[in-house]
Amino acid sequence: MIILDEIKQEENYSHNLFVTYPKTIQISHGVYDNVIDMMNMCTMIAQNLDTTELTNVYGGKTPWGFFNNKPEFTRFIDYVFNKHQNSNPFFNKQNWYNKNISFDSWGNEIKKGDSVAMHTHKDHHLILYLTEGAPLILPELKMTIHPKKGHYYIFPPYISHGVPKVEEDGKTRYCLVTNILDNADWKKNKLIKEATDAREKKQY
């Protein structure tokens, strides 16, 4: 068993865990230190729950895309990009700016009686825990994440995860969830291919 020492908010550390089962994936982890923004996001989630949507979250959830244009979200994404651009290929500076990146971000509220059904995301998936609370289960990786305030995790696509039904009284868990959408820019890709083909043709 490997036990990772907890990263304190004031420490400039991040972890990258590679798991093979049989394919190899990378999970990046760090600690966000903007306490005021996290408090504000908790408040926004609690005040903007949408009970009309049918989702995998059997608890509280804001509308899809709720945080997309919020300055608190923008500051967090900038932090993650700058922290992981040299350690996670997905955030590599050149690749990041060559991609047609967009976001779908929302907030979850999980309390006693709530759960999140096992599911996957087709895109890179980022969770920022705004409070402690119910654990996240990743059965195919044989991993359980026990949330700590400010801790965030970046998962590659198609990793099954969920939250079992909360049976005990305890602190309500708030988190920010983001799908990082790597949308193909076909027009840009065509121009790159044409330029590459032309350069290769000159060489022969």
Task: Note the pLDDT of residue 204.
Answer: 57
Q: Are 48 and 66 in contact (CB under 8 A)?
A: yes
Percentage of the chain lying above the pLDDT 90 cut: 66
Instruction: Please check the confidence at residue 31 and state whether its pLDDT lies above 70.
Output: yes
Q: Model's pTM, two decimal places? A: 0.86
Residue 43 has what pLDDT?
98
Bridge partners for 155 per DSSP: 125
For residue 41, what pLDDT is reported?
A: 98
Q: What is the pLDDT of residue 99?
A: 76
Q: What is the mean predicted confidence (pLDDT) over 139-164?
A: 94
Tokens of 100: 């047609």
Q: Calculate the alpha carbon distances from 198 to 1, 186, 193, 195, 203 in Å.
A: 53, 18, 9, 5, 9
pLDDT of the residue at 93: 78
Among candidate residues 162, 191, 192, the one with its CA nearest the CA of residue 56:
162
What is the reported pLDDT for 63? 96
- The answer to whether 162 and 114 have CB atoms below 8 angstroms apart is no
Q: Where are the beta strands (DSSP E) in the chain?
A: 14-20, 24-31, 57-58, 60-61, 100-110, 115-119, 124-129, 136-138, 143-145, 151-155, 161-163, 173-183
pLDDT at 11 over 80: no
**Per residue in 118-132, pLDDT tens?**
999 999 999 999 999
Q: Which residues of 140-156 are buried (b: 16+ CB within 10 A; e: fewer)?
A: ebeeebebebbbbbbbb
Q: Mean per-residue pLDDT for 175-183?
A: 93
The CA distance from 169 to 158, in Å, is 31
Measured CA to CA in angstroms, residue 12 lies from 78, 152, 159, 169, 173 at distances of 15, 14, 27, 34, 25
One-letter amino acid of 72: E
Q: Is pLDDT above 50 for 1?
A: no
| pLDDT category of residue 164 using cuts at 50, 70 and 90 | very high
Which pLDDT band, with edges at 50, 70 and 90, does 176 fall under? very high
Residue with tokens 């394919």, as numbered in its chain: 23
DSSP 6: P
pLDDT at 170: 80
Look at residue 48 in the predicted model and tell me its pLDDT: 97
pLDDT (tens digit per residue) in 67-110: 999 999 999 999 999 999 999 999 987 777 777 889 999 999 99
